[in-house]
A = this chain, B = another copy of it.
């Protein structure tokens, strides 16, 4: 096999890629140059995983990369019908974000249970205000999304004594079918959105679903912004249908300074960082390198996305 060309979508060189020096030609593209450079690529590495550029630049006809890897768990930002219909293999960063995101979700649930946001507010005002808080042991969580991230969240919450139900696209061992969701929502203390963004999950958390949750329930979204109808969540919080929520992902990112979301009572806003622990870029670089070595030697790739479903099946 002659020297392959890896096209990297990002200005910054990913860590560890230097190890491929002499084994591959590495080119960099930005959003503007991507369409022009794409015909040169055997492999496209979508390192700037917040970009929508691949969808726009994907060639309908002609030369297409043999393989596209994205340094994210979700593939919604790059998938388009032409890519789905092509022979190009798509892989994702499955595995890198599981434990960090699970810890992040546990953090938010515990912070709600222990009323931490109010504690900080009282500290700012130099107020000593004792309150009774909640024990998480014995409470119930419903996690929507049964991939590795959903499973990792469930494992961490269960370790804290929280009875946790997982909801996936279909019922299987340890996973509930979507038909069970509404029933589970009526009982859950904590509802966590951890699903990939697909036609089936888009806007699934809407007024009706917030309406069936308990007034004491808290909602957490670490999946994709478009899983949630944001205006419905605002209504649910301001009308006290639910007690609180935390969003790490949004329909528009970064969230604009003028967004009304910043100041909704009992809504915590974080800037899409739940999975990003120190060393994450390094891990993503190492993961691509490992996949590249499989591809280079003709071995089958892992983390292969089902392009029509929009995620890696199985688990």
Chain A residues with CB under 8 Å of chain B are: 99-100, 103-104, 106-107, 110-111, 113-114, 116-117, 119-120, 122-123, 126-137, 156, 159-161, 253-255, 257-259, 262, 268-273, 276-280
Instruction: Give which listed residue, B103, B123, B137, B253, contacts A110 with CB less than 8 A.
Output: B103
Q: In the complex the two chains form, what is the Cα distance from A111 to B108 in whole Å?
A: 8
Cβ–Cβ contact B103 & A137, under 8 A: yes
Instruction: Give which listed residue, B110, B119, B133, B273, contacts A268 with CB less than 8 A.
Output: B119
Q: In the complex the two chains form, what is the Cα distance from A116 to B257 in whole Å?
A: 19
Contacts A103-B114, A110-B111, A123-B262 supplied; 10 other A-B pairs, CB < 8 Å: A104-B133, A120-B120, A123-B268, A126-B262, A128-B254, A132-B278, A132-B280, A133-B273, A133-B276, A160-B160
Q: In the complex the two chains form, what is the Cα distance from A276 to B272 in whole Å?
A: 33
Cβ–Cβ contact A103 & B111, under 8 A: no
Q: Which residue of B lies closest to A272 (CB)?
A: B130
Given contacts A116-B111, A268-B120, A271-B130, contact A135 B276 (CB under 8 A): no
- Residues from chain B with a CB closer than 8 A to the CB of A271 are 119, 122, 128-130
Given contacts A120-B268, A159-B160, A160-B156, contact A135 B103 (CB under 8 A): yes
- Residues from chain B with a CB closer than 8 A to the CB of A273 are 130-133
Q: In the complex the two chains form, what is the Cα distance from A268 to B255 in whole Å?
A: 27
